[in-house]
Structure 1
Amino acid sequence: MKQYLLNNSKKKFFTINDIANLLSISKESAKVTANRYCKSGLLIRIKRNLYISASKFKELKESELFQIANFIEVPSYISLSTSLSYFNISTQQLQNVIESISLKRTKTQAVNNIEFRFYKVKQSFYSGFINSDNFFIAQPEKAFADSVYLTSLGKYSTDFESINFKKLNIDLVNSYMKNSNSITIKFWEKLCKRYKI
């Protein structure tokens, strides 16, 4: 019965308070129930005090997985190859991997069969994203700038052959590069010569 109520709730994501209210049990009982359901595979723990039923997780759309990435690491925004692929700028697409830019830390977290990767950038480079369909995602030029920035520092690997440079506003890319550093700017200049950008 409890499982049925969770699976058929209109809510996609649950906190302990949500579980307590939905099942008409105490907060302490809800914690025990959540732990037991996670161990049995009925619930999936996204982060501390945030869960989703396993059956609902299987049905999530791409935009909802992007929301989860935003939930896991706050603040963060979808970027790099995930954003470039989303906007059809790159043919490089990682299976079951969602990449984001973060202000706090670089980390990887697996939720069920999806790997969420977060790459830290400095405060002055944390920009160029929009709120789209309830998730934050880098605009194409910023996703590309993030890729160049992290690749130039040896913290990421970008397949530049997969990028359609004609779809990018290079003036906008240049404006983002000004907030990077001398290493990234030199690396970007070499890329411009190599790909005749």
Structure 2
Amino acid sequence: MKEYLLNKSNKLFLTVSDIANNLSISKESAKVTANRYVKSGSLIRIKRNFYITSEKFRRLNEPGLFQIANFIEVPSYISLTTALSYYGITTQQLQNIIESVSLKRSKVQSVQNIQFKYYKVKKSFYTGFQMSNNFFIALPEKAFADAVYLTSIGKYSIDFESINFKKLNINTVKQFIEAINSNSITINFWNRLCKRYKI
């Protein structure tokens, strides 16, 4: 019955205070209840003092998972192959992996069967994203520019053969790469890419 009440909540995430209010119990009791439900698998701890019910997590669609990704690491935005797949620019599909670009750290966090991967970039490169459907996601050209940059420095790997370059504004990609990153390694990598794929 208590789990049912938590699942009825309109909030995606629940704090200890939310649990206390939903179950009409004290905050101290809510802490104990939250820990017990995490151990039993009814609740998933996303990060300190933030939970989601297992049932709600199982029902999440792609935008919902993107919201989770934004929430786990702040600030961050969906990018790379995940964003390119979302936009229909790549045929490459990642199974149970959500990729993001972050400002503070690179890390991987697993929640149930989903891996949330974060790739750190310098502050000057943390741009070119927008809010869409309640989550932050790179613009198509920035998602590709992120992939080019991280691949050029050996921090990432993308299947360029799967990219539909006709769906990208190549001049915009070039502007992101040249304006935000003066790294000659990245510029040279980009030039070789353009030559190879005639873009």
TM-score category (smaller protein): over 0.9
Q: Which residue of 1 aligns with 2:191?
A: 189
> What letter is aligned with 1:127?
T
Displacement after TM superposition at 1:156 (Å): 0.4
- TM-score, normalised with respect to structure 1: 0.98
SS at match of 2:95: coil
- TM-score, normalised with respect to structure 2: 0.97
Q: Which structure 2 residues correspond to residues 124-139 of structure 1 after superposition, within 5 A?
A: 124-139=124-139
> What letter is aligned with 1:162?
S
Q: In structure 2, what is the Cα distance between the partners aligned to 1:22 and 1:60?
A: 21
Displacement after TM superposition at 1:12 (Å): 2.5
**Alignment gaps of 5+ in structure 1:** none
Q: Deviations over 1:80-114 (max 9, x none)?
A: 00000000000011011000000000000001111
Q: Confirm whether residue 76 of structure 1 aligns to residue 76 of structure 2.
A: yes
> What letter is aligned with 1:195?
Y
Q: Which structure 2 residues correspond to residues 43-54 of structure 1 after superposition, within 5 A?
A: 43-54=43-54
Displacement after TM superposition at 1:61 (Å): 1.1
Displacement after TM superposition at 1:8 (Å): 2.0
> What letter is aligned with 1:77?
Y
Taking only the aligned residue pairs, the percentage that are identical comes to 73
Q: Which residue of 2 aligns with 1:107?
A: 107
Root-mean-square deviation (CA, aligned residues, Å) is: 0.8
Displacement after TM superposition at 1:183 (Å): 1.1
Displacement after TM superposition at 1:2 (Å): 1.4
Displacement after TM superposition at 1:10 (Å): 2.3
